[in-house]
Amino acid sequence: MNAESALQTITSTRIVAGMRGNFPPDVALRASQALMGEGIRCFEMLMNSQQPIAAMQALKAEYGDEACVGMGTALSAEAARQALDAGADFIVSPAFQPEVVQAALDSDVLVAPGVATPTEAVAAWAMGPPLLKLFPIGALGVDYFAAIFGPLGHMRFMCNGAMNDQNARELIQAGAVAVGMGGWLVGDGSWGKSRLRSRARILVNAVESVGN
């Protein structure tokens, strides 16, 4: 999946499920199956989790281009290249690191560098990524996002960090093109499919209530 296709998938579905912690391949597959059944098909493995590369590859093998599967918490060019070599559909970082952005751009893979201020957003956008990760926006609040988005409305923002169904809906309504959802949506790896489906259904309904 090239950068354009990954961007289209994320912005059309508007939800990226991030799996941090105990999500080795079998657990990641179980969780993704539950979420896929509710219409969530973008998945972010995290480099600081159990077997993230293997988990990412397991999801890619299972779904192919039916799902968009990438790697988050890529904190160095080396980590980014490791994920890219393993077939990541996108790269996400909690911070803006030019070397990570460049590694993904050189591979025609979508990258969403993390930003928290207007200065970081402008600097990151100037490098050419078509999507920025505003992090940790859940802790900062919707008003903070609205204040940044006012003068920077030409940029695309995916909002991540301390997210739930309520602020996900509010941030989409305020102009975010997508939300990255972690623990609230997928838990810690111990949740059964019923709970995962319930959370996914709540979130999908919340986001869809905003309209297009």
| Catalytic one of 44, 60, 62, 170 | 44
44 is catalytic: yes
Q: Pick the catalytic residue from 38, 60, 133, 170.
A: 133
Of 105, 112, 61, 48, the closest CA to residue 87 belongs to 61
What DSSP letter does each residue of 154-186 carry, written as one string? TS-EEEESS--HHHHHHHHHHT-SEEEE-HHHH
Whether 133 is catalytic: yes
For residue 1 the two structure tokens come to: 């999946």
Q: Which residues pair with 68 in a beta bridge?
A: 42
Cα–Cα dist 205/137, whole Å: 21
Could you identify the residue written with the tokens 């509010």?
A: 170
Structure tokens at 100: 């990570």
Residues annotated as catalytic are 44, 133
